[in-house]
Every structure is written in C-alpha cells, then in structure tokens.
C-alpha cells in the first residue's frame, strides 16, 4: 500500500507521525511524505495528524481534511482518508458527521490502532478514538523520518498536569506521561546512526520529566545519559517551565559540552495579575531574577520565550508591564501570539474579553519591540566566532544555510555561510560572523569539522 502522511501542528505531532510511518513501513507499506503528495499522486490512503490547540490550527486541520475529502469523492484519490491527533481526540464525532468521507479516526498516541485500521481495510468501527487520551510510550518504536535533516525532536514526555486557563491540551492529551529512559536512549542512538547531529528535547514541559514515574531520575539525569552517547552532536532544551529550572539542571547544562547554551522558557506574560488569571504554574517566580541567574550560570546563554497578548482582563497597564519586562530582560528570542478564545476552557468564558483590534495592536507593539532587541543582539555577534551545524544550500543567495547554538530549528533565524569548500548537510564548522540582520546572521567559514 502507498500511504501518504500529513503532519499539522507541533513538533510532537511530527514525532508521532514518524512513529506511525515506522510501523507502517515495517509492515510492508510505502510511505509518501507530505511534500510529495499532490492531486496526481496515487495513494491507497492518507493519514492527517491534526492539531486542535487554537482556532487557527483547528481551521487549518479542517480545511486540509475537507480538501482531501473532496479529492477522494471526485477522483477516488486517495482511496481512503484517516484522521489522528488532537483535533480527532477532541471532536471525533463532529468530524465523522461533517466529513463522511473519513474512513477511520483515532486520537492521540494510538499509532498501532491506526495501523490496524489502515491494514485491515474497511473497519466496522470507524471511530476508534478512546475516551481517555493515551500518550504512553511503552516500547521502542522505530521512527521513519520524512526528511534527512541533521536535527530531530526527541519527545521525552507528553500530556500535561498543569491547569492553565487558556489551554485545552490536558483535555486532549491527558496527564503527564514520561517516556522511560531506556526507550529514549535507544531512540536517540537510532537517530544518531541516521546522521542526526542535534537532538531537540521536547514535551509540554520538559522540566517535570520523570515526576510521574520516578523519584531519583529526572531531567538532569536523562540529559547526562544522552550526552554520554557516542558521537559529536548537540542537545537542545525546549519548553522548560520556569519553576523547573533547578540548580541540578543548571549544573548539568553548564557542565555538559554537548548541551548547547540555549533554553526555551514559555512564560506567556510578565504581569502578575494576568499570570494569576492564566493560572500559570510557577507564576510567583521573579522572571528578571531568573534570567539573571540563568545567564550567570550558563555563559553565552540564548534565552527564548513566548508571550500571549490580549488575554481576558489584560488592561493597558498590564500590557505596559509586559512591554517593560521585555525591554528589561531582553530575551534573545521571543515569539508572541494573540490570545485565542477556546471553548471548554475557563478563559474562554471569562469576562472582559479583549477585542481583536486591540489584540492586533498589542501584537504589533511586542513584535516591534522584539525586532529592535533581536537586531541589537545579532549586531553584537559580528566579529565573533561560533560553531555552526550546516543544513542546506540556498540557491538564491548562493550561500550555505545552518544554525549555531543560538538558533533553534524551525522557530529562530539562520546562519548564512560563505565557504570555498562544499559543506555537506550535517557538518559542523567554525565560522566568523561578518554581518547581521534582525533575525539572521551571515558568516564566513574558518574551519570545518566532520
């Protein structure tokens, strides 16, 4: 069977679809990746792994499903249409009713059930979504990667025990479930054998890894075990909530050369009252003091965060406190989202909803503030040397493209490289930064690694 796999949403969905691809390929299927799927590609089945986090993501998922359903009905290609992921977990009955062309649907974490539906043909039970979401990984699953990129995401846990008032993830994914370290280490070894040179550690909150399973094995212990694996590679920590930044974690990050000096701490706001309304965990943390502590402990640290503007009850004064905090702390990397009013969340029915025009203005103001901060940070890098992981070649600019420790994949800028010698993807090089743009920098290769 020729099966197309489409991934929508976050990097955790990417990992899940790679698990599914490995299962199907091991059972004799031919996998067609998303970039190779078009109206003329004959497919026995297509699986869409959906996102249900915010309104825009839900709309994107539904639009893609409707497009494929139309194609199936009018052309018979794909022959069958399957749905998985967060939107399927949350709205399975609605999707089956509104899009009757769907041949089977499962929720989150049901890789083997999806494989059974596809390989079993027309199943009597189309809606196989389990009422209670399951995100347990209980054995090693081979990942069939869609692109030979030199980086990969390593999902160390899924689900969430926090109760943020704007978020529906606990409803869609259930409670935190950490992946046993022996499985993660086997998965990491497999990725490294395939040429991966950067492992990006992800979960809803990596700082609580192991809290649901073990007393004495947590994130610092996992990081040390990963760094002990053979090979020249980077480890990058993403989505670490502020209260989980322990002395043990800082000591591990500073003491392990393979861990890049980069930390993503999703804060969402800097005003105490807004954080209280959000019910953010660790909202009492002094963020400016935390940033100073992190930068003192880890030389050359790049800090990334995300903010939400227009949360219900966000007054002009609260928004100004957010802006002032951004100016004071000066995050090297910052993403900002307009609040999305989600059903079945406390914030969705809260009073004092902020209008769309106001949200857009506040989004613009944060983006403008961060634009100048990012530009100044990049300008300060000119003349310095840095290690760069080569990813590709830009035909238009006639430059190689890579990232340093200061750029996470898919969300940050790039390093554009001048080199007299060919640079294969997955190569580490030493380079001198010679020019800076607000989000990207340009560098000249000084020496190449392996």
Per-residue three-class SS string for the chain: CEEEEEECCCHHHHHHHHHHHHHHHHCCCEEECHHHCCCCCCCCEEEEEECCCCHHHHHHHHHHHHHHHHHHHHHCCCCEEEEEEHHHHHHHHHHHHHCCCCCEECCCCCHHHHHHHHHCCCCCCCECCCCCCCCCCCCCCCCCCCCCCCEEEEECEECCCCCCCCCCHHHHHCCCEECCHHHHHHHHHHHHHCCCCEEEEECCCHHHCCCCCCCCCCHHHHHHHHHCCCCCCEEEECCCCHHHCCHHHHHHHHHCCCEEEEEECCCECCCHHHHHHHCCCCCCCCHHHHHHHHHHHCCCCEEEEEEEECCCCCCHHHHHHHHHHHHHHCCCEEEEEECCCCCCCCHHHCCCCCCHHHHHHHHHHHHHHHHHHHHHHHHCCCCCEEEEEEEEEECCCCEEEEEECCCCCCCCCCEEEECCCCCCCCCEEEEEEEEECCCCEEEEEEEECC
Which residues sit opposite 46 in a β-bridge?
4, 81
Q: What is the pTM of this model?
A: 0.92
User: How do beta strands 302-309 and 399-404 pair?
Assistant: unpaired
Q: Which domains does the chain have, with CATH numbers?
A: 2-119 (3.40.50.12160), 151-379 (3.80.30.20), 385-448 (2.40.50.140)
Q: Are 103 and 126 in contact (CB under 8 A)?
A: yes
Measured on CA atoms in the order 427, 431, 434, 437, is the torsion positive or negative?
Answer: positive
Residue 428 CA to residue 184 CA, distance in Å, equals 24
Contacts of 389 (CB under 8 A, 6+ apart): 150, 151, 197, 198, 234, 402, 403, 404, 426, 427, 428
Query: What is the chain's pLDDT, residue by residue, as a tens digit (450 residues)?
Result: 999 999 988 889 899 999 999 999 999 999 998 888 876 788 999 999 988 777 788 888 888 899 999 999 988 889 999 999 998 998 888 899 999 999 999 999 999 999 999 998 655 578 888 888 889 999 999 999 998 999 999 999 999 998 899 988 888 899 999 999 999 999 999 999 999 999 999 999 999 999 999 999 999 999 999 999 999 999 999 999 988 899 999 999 999 999 999 999 999 999 999 999 999 877 677 899 999 999 999 999 999 999 999 999 999 999 999 999 999 999 999 999 999 988 888 998 899 999 999 999 999 999 999 999 999 999 999 999 999 999 999 999 999 999 999 999 999 999 999 998 999 999 999 999 999 999 999 999 986 555
Contact 146, 51 (CB under 8 A): no
| Under 8 Å between Cβ of 407 and 415 | yes
The residue among 415, 407, 433 whose CA lies nearest residue 198 is 407
The candidate with the shortest Cα–Cα distance to 259, out of 236, 240, 239, is 236
Question: In the beta sheet, which residues pair with residue 82?
Answer: 47, 104
Quote the tokens at residue 74: 């009018």
- Cβ count near 148 (within 10 Å): 10
Residues for the chain: how many in total? 450
Nearest to 269 by CA among 252, 282, 254: 282
Q: What is the pLDDT of residue 449?
A: 54
Buried b or exposed e, range 233-248, using 16+ CB within 10 angstroms: bbbbbbbbbbbbbeee
Which residue matches tokens 């804060």?
267
* The pLDDT value given to residue 10: 85
Alpha carbon of residue 174 to chain centroid: 18
Contacts of 223 (CB under 8 A, 6+ apart): 201, 235, 237, 249, 252, 253, 256, 259
Predicted pLDDT of residue 448: 58
């Amino acid at each position: 069977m020729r099966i197309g796999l489409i991934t929508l949403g976050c990097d955790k969905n990417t990992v899940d679809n790679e698990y599914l691809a490995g299962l199907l390929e091991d059972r004799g299927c031919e996998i067609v990746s998303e970039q190779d799927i078009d109206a003329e590609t004959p497919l026995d089945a297509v699986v869409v792994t959906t996102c249900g986090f915010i309104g825009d993501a839900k709309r994107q998922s539904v639009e893609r499903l409707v497009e494929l359903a139309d194609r199936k009905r009018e052309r018979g290609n794909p022959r069958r249409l399957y749905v998985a992921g967060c939107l399927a977990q949350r709205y399975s009955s609605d999707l089956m009713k509104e899009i009757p062309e769907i041949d089977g649907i499962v929720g989150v974490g049901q890789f083997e059930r999806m494989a059974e539906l596809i390989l079993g043909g027309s199943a009597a039970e189309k809606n196989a979504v389990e009422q209670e979401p399951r995100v347990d990984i209980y054995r090693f699953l081979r990942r069939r990667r869609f692109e030979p990129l030199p980086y990969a995401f390593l999902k160390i846990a899924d689900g969430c025990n926090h109760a943020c008032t704007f978020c529906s993830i606990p409803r869609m994914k259930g409670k935190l479930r950490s992946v046993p370290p022996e499985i993660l280490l086997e998965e990491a070894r497999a990725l490294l054998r395939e040429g991966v040179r950067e492992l990006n550690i992800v979960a809803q909150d990596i700082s609580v890894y192991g809290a649901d399973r073990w007393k004495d094995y947590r994130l610092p212990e996992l990081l040390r075990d990963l760094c002990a694996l053979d090979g020249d590679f980077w480890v990058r920590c993403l989505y670490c909530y502020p209260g989980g930044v322990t002395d043990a974690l800082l000591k591990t990050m500073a003491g392990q050369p393979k861990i890049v000096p980069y930390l993503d701490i999703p804060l969402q706001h800097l005003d105490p009252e807004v954080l209280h309304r959000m019910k953010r965990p660790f909202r009492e943390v002094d963020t400016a003091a935390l940033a100073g502590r992190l930068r003192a402990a880890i030389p050359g640290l790049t800090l990334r965060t995300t903010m939400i503007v227009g949360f219900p009850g966000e007054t002009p004064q609260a928004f100004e406190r957010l802006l002032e905090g951004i100016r004071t702390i000066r995050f090297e990397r910052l993403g900002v989202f307009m609040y999305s009013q989600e059903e079945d969340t406390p914030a969705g029915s809260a009073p004092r909803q902020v209008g769309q025009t106001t949200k857009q203005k506040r989004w613009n103001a944060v983006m403008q503030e961060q634009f100048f901060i990012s530009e100044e940070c990049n300008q300060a890098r000119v003349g310095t040397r840095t290690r760069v992981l080569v990813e590709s070649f830009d035909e238009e600019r006639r430059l190689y493209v890579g990232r340093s420790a200061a750029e996470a994949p898919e969300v940050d800028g790039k390093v554009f490289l001048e080199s007299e010698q060919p640079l294969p993807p997955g190569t580490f090089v030493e380079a001198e930064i010679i020019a800076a743009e607000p989000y990207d920098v340009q560098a000249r290769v000084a020496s190449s690694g392996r």
